[in-house]
A and B are shown apart, each in its own frame.
Chain A
Amino acid sequence: MAISEEQVRHVATLARLGLRDEQVAELQVELNDILVQIDRIQALDLTGVEPTTHAAAITNVTRPDVVRPCLPRSEALRNAPEQQDGAFLIPKFGG
């Protein structure tokens, strides 16, 4: 399954990667090289084979509903690129 330039752009938008035109072109070539390798498994007839969704064969792992300490606000915000009044500041939304 070869990937088109338009698909590369669509996938980049889904992944929120603002690619330059030359990156799009490069990636189209690279991804198609990789997809050739990957497509080898398309040929396998795997009807009736259950998918393995989880590596550990365990179920029902939960934690008790018990409060644990929170981060101090200064720690929560320590890495914030911008902050104001104890909140994470972001530019305007939408547009």
Chain B
Amino acid sequence: MTHDLSTLTAGRIRDGIAAGDFTATDMAESALARIAALEGDVHAFNEVTAGLALDAAARVDDLAAAGEPLPPLAGVPVAFKDNMNLRGTNTSCSSLILESYSSVYDCTAVRRMLDAGAVPVGKCNMDEFAFGSSTENSAFGPTHNPWDLDRVPGGSSGGSAAAVSAGMAVLALGSDTGGSIRQPGALTGTVAMKPTYGRVSRYGVVAFASSLDQIGPFSKTVEECALTLNVICGKDPMDATSVDMPMQDLAATMRDGVEGLRVGVVRDLMALEGCDPRVRACTMDAVEVLAGLGAEVGEVDLPSCMYGMPAYYIIGPAEASSNLARFDGIRYGHRAEGAEDVMDLYLRSRAEGFGPESIRRIMLGTYALSAGYYDAYYGQAQKVRTLIIRDFEKAFCDYDVLVTPTSPTVAFKIGEKSSDPVSMYLSDVYTIPVNLAGIPAVSVPCGLVDGLPVGLHLMGRHFDEATLMRTAYSYEKAAALDMRPPLASALGV
């Protein structure tokens, strides 16, 4: 018996299994059936893990049969970005250099999902090593946006976003270094969250930029986002940058409403030239909804955020150039044939294994850190980071939540920007400052432009995910948008 996973929520699945309406195996099979039907068009996955899914589902069904209490994500089909280690899967990062790399340990966030009863259906396509905003930089071909197959799903967690949007998975995890969860979330009409830096362990997610990376969820609803966040957050002894900070029960506090909440629209960022006026209008409509719910709306500027993009394109590649050094063909990953010595092996394995965008970023980062340039680039970027943090601190004196669009445009056509790295880089202009400051932010669907989803970007104080969830939930309930992509509705299963 298959079920339509584009409408079932995680909570409904768990309750349904507990009530005996259906089994976890039904859910796993439904997900696998949907993947079989849609994957040819969407290409959300690098690997479908049917065996792992059915095993995990069987364990949940055993629990249910024994009348045991079910964990929060029991039987929920989930997908993971292919930069997260999970034993029994390859973790390719959509790169030839790791194409056959088989994980020998589990990512903490993934483990927490599975321990909470989730059923892993696959590993999702992404921009190679998370370098990109369109999922076109995958060695295994682009992912297509379920809303329009000619368009990108955003990136770099585009596969995860597309999988949830198309109902191939109920939840997915992505990683966000400069917007890589929120931007694809906006472009696919899903709820997408980047928690506070340190909130979720980074152990086991292949690092892009260690000081910016954070794992977060994709879901169809804010409630599921909150539920997932509660599962994956918390101090991990394996990650020295994970923070021991108690998290509220988000599913409970999100219902508290926004009466009196101070919402600041970031005026200078909204006015940026590259922002589609219709996207801007959608965002302002959403702010009106919040005002109607009793929020106090005002305006604020974040002048240093203008420099977020250049700072990010120094810090990100610099850290990445170091993080990606380990892909050297010695212990795992691609090794060039017939290398005559170690130097030859390094040079050829890496040149053959990395795609063009990875090479660009490694080169840029290596240059920015090299002798004589550190102060001008990395040092200067770190100071800009300080200014951005100050801007946010100041803004959060007056406001509880800050608002921008998530992406300046809706999903663009596959190939449209891929020959122009700089214009591609601009698609993260709203999301980047959040990573530089380490604060949490969420993208919530707030309407359609040309039949394509627009995301509302809500930013909060460090460790104040609760306020973000409360705002997002209130908006979602009031707006009551149908964010099922045509493709998913047409399939009807």
Q: Which of A54-95 contact B (CB under 8 A)?
A: 54-56, 58, 61-63, 71, 75-76, 78-82, 88, 90-95
Contacts A3-B367, A37-B422, A44-B384 known; 4 new A-B pairs at CB < 8 A: A14-B370, A52-B389, A56-B198, A58-B243
For residue B36, CB closer than 8 A to chain A, the reply is no
Q: Are B104 and A51 within 8 A (Cβ)? A: no
Nearest CB in chain A: distance from B350 CB, A: 5
Please give, as numbers and ranges, the residues of chain B lying within 8 Å of A39 by CB-CB distance: 310
Query: Quick one: given A37-B313, A56-B241, A95-B340, are A15 and B364 in contact (CB under 8 Å)?
Result: no
Q: Are B332 and A81 within 8 A (Cβ)? A: yes
Query: Quick one: given A14-B370, A54-B211, A63-B237, are A31 and B363 in contact (CB under 8 Å)?
Result: yes
Nearest CB in chain B: distance from A47 CB, A: 9
Query: Quick one: given A31-B360, A81-B329, A81-B335, are A61 and B307 in contact (CB under 8 Å)?
Result: no
Q: List 6 A-B contacts (CB under 8 A).
A: A8-B363, A12-B363, A20-B351, A58-B241, A62-B240, A95-B341
Nearest CB in chain B: distance from A4 CB, A: 11
Stretch from B61-69, B122-130, B373-381 forming part of the interface with A: B373-381
Query: Quick one: given A44-B380, A46-B387, A90-B330, are A55 and B342 in contact (CB under 8 Å)?
Result: no
Q: Are A80 and B332 within 8 A (Cβ)? A: yes
Please give, as numbers and ranges, the residues of chain B lying within 8 Å of A12 by CB-CB distance: 363
Query: Quick one: given A7-B367, A15-B362, A37-B310, are A76 and B425 in contact (CB under 8 Å)?
Result: no
Nearest CB in chain A: distance from B422 CB, A: 6
Please give, as numbers and ranges, the residues of chain B lying within 8 Å of A53 by CB-CB distance: 211, 382
Q: Are A95 and B333 within 8 A (Cβ)? A: no
Nearest CB in chain B: distance from A48 CB, A: 9
From B331, which residue of chain A is reached at the shortest CB distance? A88
Q: Are B382 and A91 within 8 A (Cβ)? A: no
Mask, B381-405, CB within 8 Å of A = 1, is: 1111111010000000000000000
Q: Are A42 and B382 within 8 A (Cβ)? A: no
Please give, as numbers and ranges, the residues of chain B lying within 8 Å of A17 by CB-CB distance: 347, 350-351, 354, 359, 362-363
Q: Are A51 and B347 within 8 A (Cβ)? A: no
* Assembled-state Cα–Cα distance A76/B104 (Å): 8
For residue B212, CB closer than 8 A to chain A, the reply is yes
* Assembled-state Cα–Cα distance A82/B349 (Å): 14
From B328, which residue of chain A is reached at the shortest CB distance? A16
Interchain CB contact (< 8 A) of A14 among B243, B359, B360, B366 = B366
Interchain CB contact (< 8 A) of B364 among A20, A34, A56 = A34
